[in-house]
Structure 1
Amino acid sequence: MNGTRRPDLLMKRLIPALARKGSGRPADNASGPCVVIGGGISGLATAGLLAKDGHAVTVLEQQEQLGGRAGRWERDGFTFDTGPSWYLMPEVIDHWFKMMGTSAAAELTLTRLDPAYKLWSAAGGQQGADSTVVRTGRAAAVDLFESQQPRSGAQLEKYLDSAELAYTLAKKHFLYDPFGTLRGLVTPAVLRHAPRLAQLLTRSLHGFVAGRFTHPLQQKILGYPAVFLGTSPYKAPSIYHLMSHLDLQDGVLYPQGGFAAVVDAMERVIRRAGVQIVAGATVTQIVTGPADGGARCEAVAWRDRDGVEHRSGAKLVVGAADLHHIESALLPETLRTRSAKKWAKTDPGISAVLVCLGVRGGLPQLAHHNLLFTDDWQDNFARIVDGQALADTTSIYVCRPSATDSSVAPAGTENLFLLIPAPALPQWGRGGFDGGGSSHVEKVADAAIAQLAIWTNTPDLAERIMVRRSYGPADFQDDVNAWQGSALGLAHTLRQSAFLRPGNVNHKVSGLYYAGSSVRPGIGVPLCMISAELVLKSVRGDKTGGPLAEPEPDVPASVSGTTVAEGMRAPDTDHAVRVVVP
């Protein structure tokens, strides 16, 4: 941040902007038929909450399976998650289940990962790359930093204190706030920290980290969570250093069965609440009619897998798919909340090349989560953000769920999922089976496999591959209607965070709401679940911040044979999750 800029002046600019954002048509809180477009995490979460609130809800999903970006693929005994794989903010996920009358404890089996993840630095020779184990908990993180550079442990203590404060403020005052009023910005707690928050908003995450830590690996440990936010540490505001509270202090969990199990649990729960789900349903139009001062929802037109046209009446419609697709393909221009000119200035976020590998034999040197970091961190991110070709050696995320879950791979084999961050360029093409994708996608996939083999000292890795499938930016565009092939959703830059992010209400069409990673509060499974609660609040006309009160559970919140892991309670909640400690 430029030292001459005054945070208090920034806040004076932001508050009027929020006032404008909060204006619009009143909420339509009458119960009635509701159609949710999209059966991903946000669509399922929204459908369940609205059904619990008395609405007759139908979910229309164009794919044959639910989950959206939280996809799955199975072949020859291997089961792959093709989307989210880090289970963070467990109390937020548990809160949604409790809102549905159950709990994460009753629906999922969660395993605490130890180590939380493993870092791999650029290989310097034939013996593989240097590796660093990151274990869960503040004490372990502080010890790691201190071992890397004297006195950096104490600095990390201060950093994590700041991260925890930022996370607590965000959860209490911003993430669950529909921003229909200024209330969230004028609470005593927010005003007390306003200068600090303004500084965090106007400085990049990398700048914030580099000003406190000089060790290159430490900078990467604290900067890599920007990828979870669809951007780079050079563009993400430093308010997002709160992510380090989640992975270094709260810890990382894994749902047995992968995120496919989370999707299945959500489907189970919302069906019990009466939600109807139609797969293979391609929505073609949101049908509107005239209303005082604007338009109102009347129906949703859609086509089934056999090409038969349908029209489902709906007083409430929730677009829980990509916002650009919902508005540009399903609404006339006059009823859209964002113009083409505004979209041209919008950052779609990063894309990725994904590679699913079934590998013969073991790979014990890999942890469940692995991060391979290049030396030239800045060049790596510049290539991704600026739409350039990736270097032959790039930063890669490698998930080995078979380290924790025996159900995802046959005995004697390993399940690997590689994510290579890439520019949001659909022209790179689609992936394919056994190397049959576009030449650009497969070139990136081949380079990543070769890099993993060298860095982990596994020279025969390519020869041991039994199953292979890749995905490219065009797959995200074609399969989930992702704007410009974004893998995660709109990037969390300053102009696309909090109330500056696209909202959850279409103020031109009464009864039309939006959920998912394109809108508030943002990217990731927990935030998509929160977006569902923002829709519920908007439908009710509830303008309060913070999570809604949870009803009494319909089922027991504990299961014999499991334990509630110590330290998994959120700092400002009484939530707990069922965790199997290996």
Structure 2
Amino acid sequence: MLQTRQLRPQSSAKTSTNGYSFVSCRISTARQGGSRSSASNSLTTRASPSSLARSPICCKAASTVDTDVRLPNKLIGAARSHQTDVVIIGSGIGGLCCGALLAKYGVKVTVVESHSIPGGAAHTWERGGYHFESGPSLYSGMNARGKDANPLAHVLQAIGEPLKCVQYNTWNVLVPEGQFLTRIGNDNFLGVLSQIRGAGSPAMAEWRRLQEVMRPLAKAAVLLPPVAFRYDPGVLLSAIGRYLPALATGGTDAMKLTGPFSKVLDGVISDSFIRNWLDLLSFLLSGLPANGTIAAEVAFMFNEWYRPDCMLDFPIGGSQAMVQALIRGLEKRGGRLLLNSHVERILLDSNGRATGVALRGGGSIKARKAVVSNASVWDTVRLLPPDLPAAQAAVSTFNREAQETPNCPSFMHLHIGFDRTGLPDDLELHHIIVNDWSRGVDAEQNVVLISIPSVKDPSMAPAGKHCLHAYLPATEPYHLWKGLDRKSPEYAKLKEERSQVLWKGVEKIIPDIRSRAEMSFVGTPLTHERYLRRARGSYGPAFKAGEALFPGESSRIFYLFQYFHQLAEGHEGSPGVS
């Protein structure tokens, strides 16, 4: 067993107060694939003027700014009615990326958000000076440029909104074999293997062999952007056409990227700990083990994490800093963001084409060119009128495909604001706990992820305090919660029971956390369903690698596009569920 590190208990006791539900989720709407669509029109939202010029939406010069009267984002009722080029449903990272890029190229854009806080699954909320992150916390490549930058960094660079980040390279891991501090980089993991399996063990030789196998795959992965791994006819234009030189350079290695990562491991890795470790990394990347995770995601991660001098990035201000940067990019070019503006339905004309949205409480927004949905496929199809003759067949097919799309489980979350007195100054930002390898990394209540963002950015908590986010990553079954009244004693009891694994996980890091806690909040699948408008509180579609690829932008409805966070999915740090 590896040595474990115990933190000193705090002498003065404080009472922990169990709070109410709030929203928390993950940036990604879709996992490995998406809806099977056949509409011929395609919305392009990459940071390339030439590609945007080919889009049916884009028609203005990059320097053009919307000169219409700006709408405050707190308007209500019919006062929100106006006309624009494109209306985007949802202010998650995907929706804001789409809006900011379109605004950059002169398209008039309005983003509508049901919640009072922008950011979707990446929003931050504040209580008593504590800034709690509801979404991602592990990032890399945020300040890199070129092929080493992650796709979100490309967007931020394109709109001229760089982020200030703190760099670091360690995270804490607690697994059945013991506890260890791992560093990003190849040599460090060899040290971990030496401790667990012994110096000169076959496991170390297997890891070195895997590095050799992954090197050409990683090279091919960084040559192709994630939008090239789509499951629609447009892939022939975006990947084969635009990225033909990259495909030629990658050769047969590029073709391996769309299969499951487990096929890369077969014949190379037999050591059980390494297989379990790579299952865990795959799960953190995509929400699926290695046999369901597309090899391209892991190859990109290997290029990022297992190279000399690689670092992780934490944005000053946390995930909300990313959200605000995208909003600035949207609004400085005339784009609009309307909060508290829930879309009641997507408007279709007599020909079955999407023409705008109707808002709850009154008001509508007409779109001259397109409607883009940043919502899940299940929630998008529910916004369509089922009885319009011109679109009845398309809506029916869209609905059937949505219902056939497998969904993954939801989340449990625990947010704690606590006193840091007596805790070491070098407390880690990230902690990953696996209780039992034999159950599988995707088993419910088996893997706990913990982040303490105030370790890297003290401004996220009051002086002398820390804020903490612990969660079960896309493993919480919705059926346990279905039909419960959120104000009922039954709901409160289930919250208490199902959150204990999170408390116990945090206690492995900070044994006296319950007495230190000044406030705590528990989020459930019903929280996701309510605040993020996510069907069944789901993380998203659960297509396995080899069965489907990333979805394209088109839908069954003309001029209705689906923006599934492809600019963020796969490389936003540790994407997926971390």
Give 2:416's aligned amino acid: L
Give 1:251's aligned amino acid: M
Deviation at 1:143, TM superposition (A): 3.8
CA deviation map 1:430-476 (0-9, x unaligned): 8989x9964333312123212432x33x4422222111001111221
Counterpart of 1:370 in structure 2 is 431
Give 1:493's aligned amino acid: K
Counterpart of 1:24 in structure 2 is 40
Residue 486 of structure 1 pairs with residue 529 of structure 2: no
Structure 1's 284 and 528: CA in aligned 2 closer, same or farther, altered over 3 A? farther
CA deviation map 1:179-235 (0-9, x unaligned): 515253583654676755666655553x65475445544334322232331223343
CA contact (8 A) 1:60 1:281 kept: yes
Q: What percent identity do the matched residue pairs reach? A: 20
Counterpart of 2:138 in structure 1 is 86
CA contact (8 A) 1:402 1:409 kept: yes
Decide which of 303, 322, 325 is 1:265's aligned counterpart.
Answer: 325
CA deviation map 1:321-348 (0-9, x unaligned): 2222112223435334954443344222
Structure 1's 211 and 375: CA in aligned 2 closer, same or farther, altered over 3 A? farther
CA deviation map 1:563-582 (0-9, x unaligned): xxxxxxxxxxxxxxxxxxxx
Residue 302 of structure 1 pairs with residue 359 of structure 2: yes
Residue 236 of structure 1 pairs with residue 293 of structure 2: yes
Counterpart of 1:173 in structure 2 is 224
Give 2:223's aligned amino acid: K
CA contact (8 A) 1:34 1:56 kept: yes
Q: Distance in 2 between matches of 1:260 and 1:309?
A: 29
CA deviation map 1:381-418 (0-9, x unaligned): 2x34xxxxx4xxx2211111122111122232222110
Counterpart of 2:554 in structure 1 is 505
Counterpart of 2:66 in structure 1 is none
Deviation at 1:272, TM superposition (A): 0.8
Higher helix share: 1
Decide which of 61, 77, 93 is 2:129's aligned counterpart.
Answer: 77
CA contact (8 A) 1:497 1:521 kept: no
CA contact (8 A) 1:23 1:180 kept: no
Helix, strand or coil at the partner of 1:45: helix
How do 1:435-454 and structure 2 match up within 5 A? 438-453=492-507
Counterpart of 2:67 in structure 1 is none
Counterpart of 1:140 in structure 2 is 188
How do 1:374-393 and structure 2 match up within 5 A? 374-381=435-442, 383-384=443-444, 390=445
Structure 1's 70 and 278: CA in aligned 2 closer, same or farther, altered over 3 A? same
Decide which of 357, 368, 381 is 1:314's aligned counterpart.
Answer: 368
CA deviation map 1:141-196 (0-9, x unaligned): 34433454435445334434544543443443352336515253583654676755
Decide which of 462, 476, 487 is 1:423's aligned counterpart.
Answer: 476
Which runs of no fewer than 5 residues in structure 2 stay unpaired?
1-32, 43-54, 60-83, 143-148, 387-391
Deviation at 1:54, TM superposition (A): 1.4
How do 1:13-52 and structure 2 match up within 5 A? 24-25=40-41, 28-29=56-57, 31=59, 33-52=85-104
CA contact (8 A) 2:172 2:428 kept: yes
Q: Distance in 1 between matches of 2:574 and 2:467?
A: 27
Alignment: residue pair count = 476
CA contact (8 A) 1:360 1:464 kept: yes
CA deviation map 1:496-550 (0-9, x unaligned): 653xx432112531x2211124xx5774674999xxxxxxxxxxxxxxxxxxxxx
Give 1:508's aligned amino acid: I
Q: TM-score if structure 1 supplies the norm length? A: 0.72
CA contact (8 A) 1:285 1:301 kept: yes
Q: Distance in 1 between matches of 2:341 and 2:536?
A: 23
Which runs of no fewer than 5 residues in structure 1 stay unpaired?
1-16, 124-129, 385-389, 530-582
Counterpart of 1:576 in structure 2 is none
Counterpart of 1:245 in structure 2 is 303
Structure 1's 396 and 172: CA in aligned 2 closer, same or farther, altered over 3 A? same
Structure 1's 248 and 479: CA in aligned 2 closer, same or farther, altered over 3 A? farther
Q: Distance in 2 between matches of 1:73 and 1:248?
A: 34
CA deviation map 1:273-314 (0-9, x unaligned): 1111110001112212245xxx333222113xxx23334343
Residue 407 of structure 1 pairs with residue 456 of structure 2: no
Counterpart of 1:569 in structure 2 is none
CA contact (8 A) 2:226 2:570 kept: no
Q: Distance in 2 between matches of 1:313 and 1:42?
A: 19
CA deviation map 1:228-262 (0-9, x unaligned): 31223343244443234334444321111111111
Helix, strand or coil at the partner of 2:169: coil
Give 2:104's aligned amino acid: K
Single out whichever of 371-380 and 260-269 deviates more from structure 2. Answer: 371-380
Q: TM-score if structure 2 supplies the norm length? A: 0.73
Decide which of 515, 519, 526 is 1:467's aligned counterpart.
Answer: 519
CA RMSD of aligned residues (A): 3.5
Q: Distance in 2 between matches of 1:443 and 1:51?
A: 47
Give 2:564's aligned amino acid: G
CA contact (8 A) 1:50 1:57 kept: yes
Q: Distance in 1 between matches of 2:104 and 2:396?
A: 28
Deviation at 1:112, TM superposition (A): 1.3
Structure 1's 162 and 260: CA in aligned 2 closer, same or farther, altered over 3 A? farther
Helix, strand or coil at the partner of 1:462: helix
Q: Distance in 1 between matches of 2:568 and 2:455?
A: 30
